Amino acid sequence: MLLHHGTADDTCPIAWSRETDRLLTRAGADSTLVEWPGEGHAFGPRFADSMRRTVAFLRRHLDG
């Protein structure tokens, strides 16, 4: 599981993603939370960076 969350998200509190990541990890899932400082819910300046990271994650886990 790959979670992206902007620290300035005013729609969904970052605590939700932190807790979800913690519970997934505790349950034995491979979970990664990436926190994006200053980004809001829909992202902005770092959107392209987050998509590159997502594509790299998908290639790593789905290709082959």
Mean pLDDT per 10-residue section of the chain, whose length is 64 residues: 96 97 97 96 93 94 79
Q: Are 6 and 34 in contact (CB under 8 A)?
A: no
The rounded distance, in Å, linking the Cα atoms of 49 and 37 is 12
* Greatest Cα pair distance in the chain: 38
The rounded distance, in Å, linking the Cα atoms of 61 and 46 is 23
pTM value is 0.86
Task: List phi, psi (to 5°) of 39.
Answer: -85, 145
pLDDT of residue 64: 60
pLDDT of residue 63: 79
Task: List phi, psi (to 5°) of 36.
Answer: -110, 100
